[in-house]
Amino acid sequence: MERIVITGMGAITPIGNSIEEYWSNLMAGVSGIGAITHFDASNSPIQIAAEIRNFDPTAYMPRKLAGEMDLFMQYAYAAAEQALSDSQLPIEPGRTGIVMGTALDGLTEIGLVQEALTAHGKRVGPRFLPKVLGNLAAAQVAIAHQITGPTMTVNTACSSGADAIILGAMLLKTGEADSVLVLGGESGINPLMIGSLSKAMALSRRNDDPVGASRPFDRDRDGFVMGEGGGAVVLELESHAKARGAKIYAELAGYANTSDAYHVTAPNPTGEGAAQCMERAIAMSSLSKSEIGYINAHGTSTHAGDIAETNAIKRVFGAPEQTPPVSSTKGATGHLMGAGGITEALTCILAIQYGMLPPTLNLHTPDPECDLDYVPNTPRPCAVKAAMSNAFGFGGQNSSLVLRAWHD
């Protein structure tokens, strides 16, 4: 079976609006979490989030087009432009595809329009629907670059980005495309989302300590921090990439998706479904478990989720001393929801490329039930041959990707 390779990368994150800035700040231990500015949160029990800063959409698209897009579309579009530029991919009619991942679609725009309608009596404009449909981010990229191959959008909650990568790989393996642009975008920092998750007691309430609020695997964690952003990768068949002399960053060696079939919001505490997912991804890669040198955990900083993922990892790899180093970058970026599966896959690629493991920020007091090596607080030099990225979502969605260092 022909290998699938990554030839382009792009990222818009709370700690950097390019791959280079993202990685530099990740290594420096920079946090992207601060006070909410997207709306007046002064009366909300949750007043912190990981927002995108210093983002100018007109650096990537015409001003008129930016005005027709919700933020989640802008972030995805910008990341896609970065990845296409990085890859120097020639667009081939009918042979280049797009897959988009998003969990919340245009929820922010929906909230804004609903408020304008009910509180101020304003009419709903004709551009409302195109700003909120999840598939239109991919459609806008397709129009801009005349990409006429398969174009699809995936929504599997927080695993959407990873599942978009999986679907892109499937398009390549089934011969539907020779190259696929995979993008993801999310912007859920709005009163609807924050209010709902606040009532569910899912979000950290450390308003007085935003930098320390997201603390995956720490005993004192009290919930996740909502983030936003975009990510993109270019996937190609190995023969296609080699034929055009493309720079190859890594190989997508394995992937899998499973369902807990347990609960709509809570993970299976045993980690059984997530463990099966990791097992299948490793089996597809033909790597031994000992060759997995790093795991980028879903690690959201929720009590139940972090324990369930720890249990799942131990089901796969054995006792703590047998497991590879694990870290969660959500301590720095917050939870990017549907975009996170892509940005965290990028993190694995960069860890392989630079031989450095990103840290889990704010891990100061170990949780006895989370007893693995989580690379606390400081990046660690480590030669990594292969890495795994986990993305788990509401509904019991589990996705795992195995990225391998490229070699001919």
Give pLDDT tens digits for 114-144: 888 887 777 888 888 989 999 999 999 999 9
- 298 catalytic per annotation: yes
Span 86-112, average pLDDT: 94
Cβ within 8 Å of residue 126, ≥6 positions away: none
- Delineate the domains of the chain, giving CATH numbers in brackets: 4-243 (3.40.47.10), 254-405 (3.40.47.10)
How would residue 257 be classed by pLDDT, with cut points 50, 70 and 90?
A: very high
- 303 catalytic per annotation: no
Residue 75 has pLDDT above 90, yes or no: yes
How would residue 7 be classed by pLDDT, with cut points 50, 70 and 90?
A: very high
Catalytic residue among 277, 335, 348, 370: 335
pLDDT per residue as tens digits for the range 306-320: 999 999 999 999 999
Span 77-85, average pLDDT: 98
- 145 catalytic per annotation: no
Task: Work out the percent of the chain whose per-residue pLDDT is above 70.
Answer: 100
pLDDT at 361: 98
How would residue 8 be classed by pLDDT, with cut points 50, 70 and 90?
A: very high
pTM of model > 0.85:
yes
Catalytic residue among 240, 277, 298, 370: 298
pLDDT at 137: 95
Q: Give the pair of three-digit tokens for residue 367.
A: 């949780």
More confident residue, 360 or 93: 360
Measuring CA to CA, which residue among 86, 110, 91 is closest to residue 151? 91
How would residue 165 be classed by pLDDT, with cut points 50, 70 and 90?
A: very high
Helix H, strand E, coil C: the string for the chain is CCCEEEEEEEEEECCECCHHHHHHHHHCCCCCCEECCCCCCCCCCCCEEECCCCCCHHHCCCHHHHHCCCHHHHHHHHHHHHHHHHHCCCCCCCCEEEEEECCCCCHHHHHHHHHHHHHHCCCCCCCHHHHHCCCHHHHHHHHHHCCCCCEEEECECECHHHHHHHHHHHHHHCCCCCEEEEEEEEECCCHHHHHHHHHCCCECCCCCCHHHCCCCCECCCCCECEEEEEEEEEEEEHHHHHHCCCCCCEEEEEEEEEECCCCCCCCCCCCHHHHHHHHHHHHHHCCCHHHEEEEECCCCCCHHHHHHHHHHHHHHHCCHHHCCCEECCHHHHCECHHHHHHHHHHHHHHHHHHCEECCECCCCCECCCCCCCCCECCCEECCCCEEEEEEEECCCEEEEEEEEECCC
Catalytic residue among 158, 277, 348, 370: 158
Strand partners, 154: 101
| Averaged pLDDT score across all residues of the chain | 96
How far is residue 332's CA from residue 355's CA, in Å, rounded to a whole number? 19
pLDDT at 119: 75
Residue 236 has pLDDT above 90, yes or no: yes
More confident residue, 113 or 6: 6
pLDDT at 111: 85
pLDDT at 121: 74
Span 25-49, average pLDDT: 97
pLDDT at 128: 85
Span 173-202, average pLDDT: 96
Residue 53 has pLDDT above 80, yes or no: yes
pLDDT per residue as tens digits for the range 376-396: 999 999 999 999 999 999 999
